């Protein structure tokens, strides 16, 4: 992950930027990694530094004496530096709203700017751990939904990222304006720039119902193991590995539902992240006594699982490549 950041900064040594980390420790580790790569035109900014040091580092960045800051997400509020050319996030933000705030600190002079979101899927457990200590179930569910909205955005290699981002804020945008012959913007998002054909919006509600059936089967049979996010991906894609859950998972209803319909594992993961963001399914977590992080998890029915089978609510749609098929009901 840090290698990608190093590659970008070395390719644009004169650009001003921001590199955001989740914690003070990650800021320090990132700075050491940049130094090891012979990138030294940076400074650090986080609450663990003295006020005097923070002020010196911020002034050095604002004046251009250093090209980029390695900071926690609190930095940037009230800062209006117009010539920021890149923002790199080295951890998963808790919501699309937070993400939009961070990347919005680039390109304020209306010149082209780039944003990168680099994260590990395990980043979500840090947020689960922090929120679980608050003891507020309703608040936790809201934060869970918001987190899975940004995960769906980040995992999605099909839909236009501008469409995903702006639709979240109830703003309309068409992907044809992102990249290509009709593009009105100078740079398309990575998805629009790299694909050759536009995706199509498909009704995936029937698949959501099948996923609900799998979770109901698990609960009926009192199955508590082999219910992770990755196991569910394997069940739907019919790609269960030769492990201790193989026999159990192959016997699961709807096993291989999306196999041979051009749904690869990554695409199934995007679909499941959509269901998470709608609370149709939910990820239960338990604190690991060794790491003290919520790393033991399994999939259960979400509070809103009934919506996908109710005619009173809108059906689920998802952008898919044109050659991907929806299984018959």
Residues 127-177 have pLDDT tens digits of 998 898 888 999 999 999 999 999 999 999 999 999 999 999 999 888 888
Indicate left, alpha or beta for 324 from its phi (over 0: left) and psi (-120 to 50: alpha).
Answer: beta
Closest CA to 44 of 62, 58, 33: 58
- Per-residue pLDDT, averaged over 225-249, amounts to 85
* Beta bridge mates, 324: none
Q: Which residues contact 217 (CB under 8 A, 6 or more apart)?
A: 223, 252, 253
Tell me which of 50-54, 107-111, 192-196 is least confident.
192-196
Sheet strands (E) in the chain: 16-21, 42-45, 68-72, 84-89, 114-117, 200-203, 281-286, 296-301, 317-320
User: Length of the chain in residues, anyone?
Assistant: 329
- Per-residue pLDDT, averaged over 24-53, amounts to 94
Spans of all domains in the chain: 2-119, 199-320
Output the average pLDDT for the chain: 89
Q: Which CATH class is domain 2-119?
A: alpha beta
Q: Give me the percent of the chain exceeding a pLDDT of 90.
A: 67
pLDDT, one tens digit per residue, over 272-297 is 999 999 999 999 986 654 445 546 78
pLDDT at 79 over 60: yes
Pick the CATH number of 199-320 from 3.40.50.920, 3.30.470.20, 3.40.50.300, 1.10.10.10: 1.10.10.10
Q: pLDDT at position 236, please? A: 94
pTM score: 0.91
Angle between helix 137-155 and helix 161-168 axes, rounded to 10 deg: 160
pLDDT at 74 over 60: yes
Q: Which residue has the higher pLDDT, 312 or 66?
A: 66
What's the first-to-final CA gap in the chain, in angstroms? 41
């Amino acid at each position: 992950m840090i290698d990608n950041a190093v590659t970008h900064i070395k390719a644009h040594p004169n650009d001003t930027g921001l590199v955001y980390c989740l914690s003070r420790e990650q800021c320090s580790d990132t700075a050491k990694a940049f130094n090891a790569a012979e990138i030294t035109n940076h400074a650090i900014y986080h609450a663990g530094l003295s006020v005097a040091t923070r002020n010196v580092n911020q002034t050095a960045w604002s004046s251009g004496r250093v090209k980029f800051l390695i900071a926690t997400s609190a930095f940037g509020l009230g800062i209006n530096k117009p010539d920021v050319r890149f923002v790199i996030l080295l951890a998963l933000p808790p919501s699309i709203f937070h993400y939009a705030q961070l990347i919005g600190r680039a390109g304020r002079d209306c010149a082209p700017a780039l944003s990168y979101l680099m994260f590990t899927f395990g980043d979500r457990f840090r947020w689960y751990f922090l929120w679980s200590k608050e003891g507020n179930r309703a608040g936790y569910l809201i934060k869970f939904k918001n987190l899975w909205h940004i995960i769906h955005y980040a995992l999605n290699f099909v839909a236009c990222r501008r469409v995903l981002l702006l639709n979240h804020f109830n703003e309309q945008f068409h992907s044809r304006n992102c990249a290509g012959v009709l593009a009105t913007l100078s740079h398309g998002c990575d998805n629009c720039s790299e694909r050759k054909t536009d995706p199509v919006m498909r009704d995936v509600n029937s698949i959501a119902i099948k996923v609900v059936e799998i979770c109901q089967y698990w609960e009926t049979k009192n199955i508590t193991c082999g219910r992770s996010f990755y196991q569910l991906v394997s069940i739907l894609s019919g790609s269960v590995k030769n492990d201790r859950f193989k026999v159990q998972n192959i016997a699961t209803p709807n096993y291989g539902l999306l196999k041979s319909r051009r749904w690869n594992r990554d695409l199934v993961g995007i679909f499941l992240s959509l269901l998470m963001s709608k609370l149709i399914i939910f990820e239960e977590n338990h604190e690991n006594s060794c790491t003290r992080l919520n790393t033991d998890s399994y999939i259960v029915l979400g509070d809103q699982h009934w919506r996908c089978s109710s005619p009173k609510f809108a059906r689920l749609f998802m952008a898919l490549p044109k050659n991907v098929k929806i299984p018959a009901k």
